[in-house]
């Protein structure tokens, strides 16, 4: 019997064992199994054999062909695996059990203060609402009783966009939407509107230790039958004593805001200087923290709530200021500085 088959089988085995990469392997495959390959040549040469010889020889060659194809496939797998293993060896070692380095991220002091306030208000049955930063003139001003050309607009130097919208100057911009969202439930089911809505505000301010062009407020509203100033004072005091975890001196004095009547300024004793006077409190010993008041009938009416039947209070807590007081940050500009050394030192633990 022809020993060319055995010779080829041996040769293939040997050559495969020394192949180092896929390109070389492909050449080998073409050399044996391709159109002009040596196994194909064996099959082509069968035409000179007798019928009987062709049968057995053909079967043997086909076996060899199948065997060679299988060995080559296995080799492909092996080479691929080896390539991956080599790549893994080059990768830096990462031990998931090693304790992390002390460069973990941390919450921004304003975020911490916001969460503390949210927790207090949630525990008193308020919902926490999210609202847009780009709003319409109607939302930010007209709906809260500041008509076009009203002098109260001068208090808030506004960034207007080319499309007529604006960056909200106050979280009060969400009041109308909240009244509309929950008003029906109030009228039909007698469920009071109790919502807070924290958010970023923007004003074209000359910056100094206590003014920034970008700052956070947290607005709150409660509307029901027979809501009075006493309710307002109760909620403000509860919130502040919870957030500061100690008795905070506050004072209430009259203040003008078009969306409330009567309106108040709620000041807290400056925690930075203890009331002595410092740049953070403009040397007054007091810091305006939470303007508030009884919601103006026009605002309620504009939000679809009948001011003859319902009353409510609203407040606009200065969240950025609150964070400054709570964490003793002397300059508001540090909060927007991105200075990680300054900002990452506060944690939730110092509640
Ligand atoms: N929106 C006011 C501001 O940014 C703050 C404010 C005052 C909000 C009185 C209120 C309020 O809800 O009742 O200056």
In this predicted structure, the answer to whether residue 348 has a pLDDT above a threshold of 90 is: no
Q: Is 346 in the pocket of ligand 1 (CB under 6 A)?
A: no
More confident residue, 334 or 246: 334
pLDDT, residue 48, reads 83
Nearest to 290 by CA among 332, 235, 343: 235
Band of the pLDDT at 47, cuts 50, 70, 90? confident
The stretch 92-108 carries a mean pLDDT of 78
pLDDT computed for residue 350 by the predictor: 47
In the reported structure, the alpha carbon of residue 315 is separated from the centroid of ligand 1 by a whole-number distance in angstroms of 6
Q: What average pLDDT does this structure show over 91-116?
A: 83
Higher-pLDDT residue of 268 and 293 is 293
Q: What is the pLDDT of residue 63?
A: 92
User: Residues 238-279: pLDDT tens digits?
Assistant: 888 888 887 778 888 999 999 999 999 999 888 788 889 998
User: Ligand 1: which of 213, 298, 315 to mutate, most ligand atoms within 8 Å of CB?
Assistant: 315
Q: How confident is the model at residue 103 (pLDDT cuts 50, 70, 90)?
A: low
- State pLDDT tens for residues 17-45: 999 899 999 999 999 999 999 998 888 88
Output the six-digit token pair for 54.
Answer: 């062709």
Instruction: Identify the band that residue 119 occupies on the pLDDT scale cut at 50, 70 and 90.
Output: very high
Quote helix, strand, coil % in the chain, to nearest 5.
50, 15, 35
Give, in degrees to the nearest 5, the angle at Cα 64 between 63 and 69. Answer: 100
Residue appearing with tokens 């080319």 = 162
Between 51-90 and 4-18, two packed helices, what is the crossing angle to 10 degrees?
10
Residue 94: the pLDDT is 77
* pLDDT over 50 at 351, yes or no: no
- Mean pLDDT taken over the chain: 91
pLDDT: which is higher, 299 or 348: 299
Alpha-carbon distance of 315 to 267, in angstroms, equals 12
pLDDT the model gives residue 106 = 85
d(CA 321, CA 317): 9
323 Cβ inside 6 Å of ligand 1: no
State yes or no: pLDDT of 102 exceeds 70: no
- Fold for the domain defined by 109-343: BirA Bifunctional Protein; domain 2 (3.30.930)
State the distance from the centre of ligand 1 to the C-alpha of 257, rounded, in angstroms.
7
- For residue 20, give the 3-state DSSP assignment: coil
| Residue written as token pair 């009938």 | 297
Residue 170 confidence (pLDDT) above 90: yes
Percentage of residues in the chain having pLDDT higher than 70: 97
CA–centroid distance, residue 10 to ligand 1 (Å): 91
For residue 316 and ligand 1, the question of a CB distance below 6 A is answered with yes
Q: Decide if pLDDT at 9 tops 60.
A: yes
In this predicted structure, which of 69-73, 214-218, 335-339 has the lowest mean pLDDT?
335-339
pLDDT digits (tens, 9 = 90+) for 299-314: 999 999 999 999 999 9
Give counts: helices (H), strands (E), the chain: 11, 10
Q: Are 110 and 335 in contact (CB under 8 A)?
A: yes
Q: Where are the domains of the chain?
A: 2-90, 109-343
């Amino acid at each position: 019997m022809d020993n060319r088959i055995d010779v080829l089988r041996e040769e293939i085995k040997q050559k495969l064992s020394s192949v180092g990469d896929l390109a070389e392997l492909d050449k080998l495959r073409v050399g044996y199994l391709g159109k002009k390959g040596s196994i194909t040549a064996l099959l082509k040469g069968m035409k000179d054999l007798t019928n009987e010889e062709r049968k057995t020889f053909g079967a043997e060659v086909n076996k060899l062909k199948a065997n060679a194809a299988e060995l080559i496939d296995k080799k492909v797998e092996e080479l691929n695996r080896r390539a991956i293993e080599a790549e893994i060896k080059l990768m830096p070692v990462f031990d998931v059990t090693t304790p992390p380095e002390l460069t973990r991220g941390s919450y921004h002091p304003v975020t911490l203060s916001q969460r503390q306030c949210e927790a207090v208000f949630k525990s008193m049955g308020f919902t926490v609402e999210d609202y847009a930063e780009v709003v319409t003139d109607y939302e930010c001003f007209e709906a809260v009783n500041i008509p076009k050309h009203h002098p109260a607009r001068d208090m808030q130097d506004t960034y207007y966009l080319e499309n007529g919208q604006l960056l909200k100057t106050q979280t009060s911009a969400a009041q109308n939407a909240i009244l509309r969202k929950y008003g029906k439930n109030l009228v039909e089911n007698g469920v009071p509107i109790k919502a807070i809505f924290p958010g970023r505000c923007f004003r074209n301010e000359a910056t100094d230790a206590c003014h920034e062009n970008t700052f956070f407020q947290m607005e709150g509203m409660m509307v029901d039958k027979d809501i009075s100033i006493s309710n307002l004072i109760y909620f403000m005091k509860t919130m502040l004593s919870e957030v500061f975890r100690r008795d905070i001196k506050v004072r209430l004095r009259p203040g003008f805001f078009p969306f409330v009547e009567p309106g108040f300024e709620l000041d807290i004793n400056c925690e930075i200087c203890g009331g002595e006077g410092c740049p953070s409190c403009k040397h007054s010993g007091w810091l305006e923290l939470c303007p508030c008041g009884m919601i103006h009938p026009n605002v309620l009416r504009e939000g679809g709530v009948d001011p003859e039947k319902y009353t409510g209070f609203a407040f606009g807590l200065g969240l950025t200021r609150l964070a400054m007081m709570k964490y003793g940050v002397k300059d508001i500009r540090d909060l927007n500085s991105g200075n990680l050394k300054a900002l990452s030192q506060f944690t939730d633990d110092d509640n």
